[in-house]
């Protein structure tokens, strides 16, 4: 099974177990809203521009479509996500699906799990093949995520590798991020509060990176 297929099924299972009104780290979105977001991403090309472009009209269109999708029966929303994109959607091709959706699903999976009251870290449920794919996803996403970082950034995933993400500026040092590929990916996507990442560097550099907003 492709890692992205397994991740999509895990995402659907988690959503079903938590229920439609459970909170997520993407507040004010609930689990229902995250499902609608994923369905929109894989079936509504007319509403996609509003996800990434800072244009009010486009964003309003995306919000309207997502709200309409979210009004559907919850069990049907879960099933639509579990089934993946429709046959005519480009990411029906496994390699493209993995490229576009693995990191997205992995991060939103944790957005649901880690928003639960009393959440604490536990053993990973992902196998090594999936972790290796997440490491690839991190290396692909990190240069964009940290492109405006005020310090240099190096990431280390024990057992997977080390990558220089951003060179330091003339007036700054470098911060080293250590964690599993999943935790590093969460940090890259701005989930600093819950990402289990060890941050190493001078006090000033660590503080500067902590204040850096990472938006795609």
Residues 57 and 109 in one domain: yes
The DSSP annotation for 11-51 comes to HHHHHHHH-TT-B-TTTT-BHHHHHHHHHHHHH-GGGTHHH
pLDDT over 70 at 129, yes or no: yes
| 7 and 89 part of one domain | yes
Residues 22 and 107 in one domain: yes
Together in a domain, 160 and 90: no
Does the pLDDT at position 8 exceed 80? yes
Q: What's the mean pLDDT in 5-16?
A: 96
Lowest mean pLDDT of 15-24, 45-54, 75-84, 140-149, name the range. Answer: 45-54
101 & 202 share domain: no
Strands (E), 120-212: 152-157, 161-166, 174-178, 198-200
Global pTM value: 0.93
Q: Are residues 98 and 138 in the same domain?
A: no
Total domains in the chain come to: 2
Among 147, 116, 89, 159, which Cα is nearest to 30's? 116
> Quick check: is 122 in a domain?
no
What pLDDT was estimated at residue 215?
66
CATH number at residue 191: 3.30.1050
**Per-residue model confidence as pLDDT tens digits over 20-78:** 999 999 999 999 999 999 999 999 999 999 998 889 999 999 999 999 999 999 999 99
* pLDDT tens digits along 175-190: 999 999 999 999 999 9
- 169 with 100, same domain? no
- Give me the chain's average pLDDT, please: 94
Q: Are residues 98 and 154 in the same domain?
A: no
Indicate if 45 and 140 belong to the same structural domain: no
146 belongs to a structural domain: yes
Residue 123: per-residue pLDDT = 75
Q: Is the pLDDT of residue 102 over 90?
A: yes
What is the Cα–Cα distance from 64 to 40, expressed in whole angstroms? 11
Asked whether residue 120 is assigned to any structural domain, the reply reads no
């Amino acid at each position: 099974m492709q890692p992205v297929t397994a991740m999509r099924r895990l995402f659907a299972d988690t959503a079903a177990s938590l229920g439609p009104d459970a909170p997520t780290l993407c507040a004010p979105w609930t689990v229902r809203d995250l499902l609608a977001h994923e369905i929109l991403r894989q079936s509504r090309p007319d509403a996609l521009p509003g996800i990434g472009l800072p244009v009010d009209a486009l964003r309003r269109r995306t919000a309207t479509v997502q709200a309409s999708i979210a009004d559907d029966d919850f069990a049907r929303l879960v099933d639509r996500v579990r089934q993946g994109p429709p046959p005519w959607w480009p990411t029906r091709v496994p390699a493209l699906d993995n490229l576009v959706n693995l990191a997205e699903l992995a991060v939103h999976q944790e957005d649901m799990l880690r928003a639960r009251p009393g959440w604490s870290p536990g053993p990973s449920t992902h196998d090594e093949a999936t972790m290796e794919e997440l490491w690839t996803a991190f290396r692909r996403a990190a240069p964009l995520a940290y492109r405006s970082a005020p310090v240099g950034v190096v990431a280390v995933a024990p057992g997977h590798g080390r990558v220089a993400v951003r060179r330091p500026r003339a007036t700054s040092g470098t911060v080293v991020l250590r964690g599993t590929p999943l935790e590093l990916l969460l940090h890259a996507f701005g989930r600093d509060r819950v990402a289990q990442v060890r941050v190493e560097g001078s006090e000033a550099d660590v503080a500067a990176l902590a204040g850096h907003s990472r938006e795609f």
